[in-house]
């Protein structure tokens, strides 16, 4: 029998993003006001240190201990809450037991993973049970992949209103961004590279743009993948690959499939980073491609991966100062075109470092929207994307509480 007493439990609260998320919840909602929440992790000592650093408002914050691999302890967490937010990554190494328990107990769940191969495994293993119990599982609720997924949703709403049809082609371009790669993201990328180096089947899966779509999706449209310097006619700039495109594009295609192909059977979507105009832009894009290629090659080889992991990349739990987080931002643009050639342009902006401050706020609002906005009679159990489980109320939350903006250009 459920002993539910919290709206949210933040699991992995002492992680770098977890701490930012907890501070955000304290500042915005307190502890036991309109939102009742608790912090959970494996170390009581670290949890107490976290609570002490959150200020006087957090004195009554409930602390719960559970290890990521202890299903019995995780089950006790699920009995006490409506939604669990997980910041425990890399998820391919530590995330499955909690997803398994949430699916079994009917507990809603969201996280900030960008590990597409792990998302695929979780869907294949626990979709049926989540449907039966009513658990709504929503992966990728940070910078991967809310701006992309909800950005396309927002553009398509505008296209329907203005052109009376969905855009069959959408191109996302990162116009500007300031931030640093998180230790958790670095660890996830290295783990994906490690897995892919061992498995030809996984490499094939990672190349499939529809890898996390339902098996009966029926999509056959060949998708463009930006891997080299390209001239982008919409922005009149040179562009290079966007490292997050590997997960973002898959999430957007899953949203199309789950929404009944509302973007079209022949929907095309790609992402890239704008590097500037003219010769300078072309050189910048070329240099970026070379640097990214060297990094990925190094991540795939055991000796250089070890060097990257131990001496170059930030480690899980490490991250920028609060000042650096506050000075971060992102500005991404969407260029959509309907089948009859009508164009729609939109943008999504954020007011914090994408991987930390902004991600923490987005993830918190995803959990809150699951708890308060989306009734289980409206959206039942299963593995959803943000664009298929949420609606305009979520965008309103992101704009009013998370520092994002969605607008026409």
Total-model pTM: 0.95
Distance between CA 355 and CA 319 in Å, rounded? 9
**Strand pairing partners for 111?**
86
CATH architecture of residue range(s) 6-143+357-402? 3-Layer(aba) Sandwich (3.40)
Distance (Å) of CA 276 to CA 301, 322, 345: 32, 29, 19
Is the distance from CB of 337 to CB of 152 less than 8 angstroms?
no
Judge if 6-143+357-402 and 146-353 fold alike in CATH terms. Answer: no
pLDDT band at 1 (very low <50, low <70, confident <90, very high): very low
Is the distance from CB of 354 to CB of 145 less than 8 angstroms?
no
How does pLDDT run across 170-215, given as a tens digit for each residue?
A: 999 999 999 876 676 777 778 888 888 888 888 888 899 999 999 9
- Domain segments of the chain: what residues? 6-143+357-402, 146-353
Q: Could you give the percent of the chain with pLDDT greater than 70?
A: 98
With a cut of 80, say whether residue 107 has pLDDT above it: yes
Higher-pLDDT residue of 270, 301? 270
With a cut of 70, say whether residue 3 has pLDDT above it: no
How does pLDDT run across 335-353, given as a tens digit for each residue?
A: 999 999 999 999 999 999 9
Mean pLDDT throughout 145-159?
Answer: 98
Is the distance from CB of 145 to CB of 391 less than 8 angstroms?
no
pLDDT band at 2 (very low <50, low <70, confident <90, very high): low
How does pLDDT run across 30-62, given as a tens digit for each residue?
A: 998 999 999 999 999 999 999 999 999 999 999
With a cut of 80, say whether residue 318 has pLDDT above it: no
Mean pLDDT throughout 82-93?
Answer: 94
Question: What's the pLDDT score for residue 182?
Answer: 67
Q: Is 146-353 CATH 3.40.640?
A: no
Distance (Å) of CA 280 to CA 272, 277, 292, 333: 17, 6, 18, 21
Residue ranges of E strands in 179-279: 230-232, 237-241, 268-276
Distance between CA 393 and CA 360 in Å, rounded? 18
Question: What's the pLDDT score for residue 194?
Answer: 82
With a cut of 80, say whether residue 297 has pLDDT above it: yes
Mean pLDDT of all residues in the chain?
Answer: 94
Question: What's the pLDDT score for residue 51?
Answer: 97
């Amino acid at each position: 029998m459920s002993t539910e007493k919290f709206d949210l439990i933040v699991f992995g609260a002492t992680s770098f993003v977890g701490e930012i998320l907890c501070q955000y919840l304290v500042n915005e909602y307190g502890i036991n006001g309109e939102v009742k929440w608790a912090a959970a992790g494996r170390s009581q000592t670290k949890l107490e240190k976290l609570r002490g650093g959150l200020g006087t408002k957090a004195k009554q914050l409930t602390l719960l201990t559970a290890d990521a691999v202890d299903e019995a302890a995780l089950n006790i967490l699920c009995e006490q809450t409506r939604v669990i937010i997980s910041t425990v990554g890399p998820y391919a190494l530590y995330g499955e037991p909690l997803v398994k328990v949430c699916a079994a107990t009917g507990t809603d769940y969201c996280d900030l993973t960008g590990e597409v191969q792990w998302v695929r495994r979780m869907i294949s293993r626990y979709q049926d049970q989540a449907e039966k119990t009513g658990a709504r599982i929503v992966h990728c609720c940070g910078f991967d992949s809310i701006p992309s997924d909800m950005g396309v949703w927002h553009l398509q709403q505008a296209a329907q209103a203005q052109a009376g049809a969905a855009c069959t082609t959408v191109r996302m371009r990162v116009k500007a961004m300031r931030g640093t790669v998180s230790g958790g993201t670095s660890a996830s990328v290295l783990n994906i590279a490690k897995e892919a180096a061992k498995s030809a089947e996984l490499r094939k899966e990672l190349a499939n743009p529809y890898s996390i779509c339902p098996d009966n999706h029926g999509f056959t449209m060949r998708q463009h993948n930006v891997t080299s310097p390209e001239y982008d006619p919409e922005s009149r700039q040179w562009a290079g690959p966007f490292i997050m495109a590997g997960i973002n594009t898959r999430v957007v295609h899953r949203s199309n499939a789950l929404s009944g192909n509302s973007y079209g059977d022949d929907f095309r979507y790609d992402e890239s980073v704008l590097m500037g105009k003219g010769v300078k832009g072309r050189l910048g894009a070329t240099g970026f491609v070379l640097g990214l290629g060297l990094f990925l090659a190094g991540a795939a080889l055991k000796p250089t991966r070890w060097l990257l992991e131990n001496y170059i990349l930030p480690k899980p739990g490490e991250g920028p100062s609060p000042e650096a987080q506050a000075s971060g931002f992102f500005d991404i643009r969407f260029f959509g075109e309907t089948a009859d050639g009508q164009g729609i342009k939109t943008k999504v902006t954020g007011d914090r470092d994408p991987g930390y401050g902004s991600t923490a706020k987005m993830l918190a609002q995803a959990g809150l929207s699951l708890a308060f906005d989306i009734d289980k009679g409206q959206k039942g159990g299963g593995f959803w994307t943000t664009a298929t489980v949420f609606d305009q109320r979520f965008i309103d939350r992101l704009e009013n509480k998370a520092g994002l903006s969605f607008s026409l250009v």
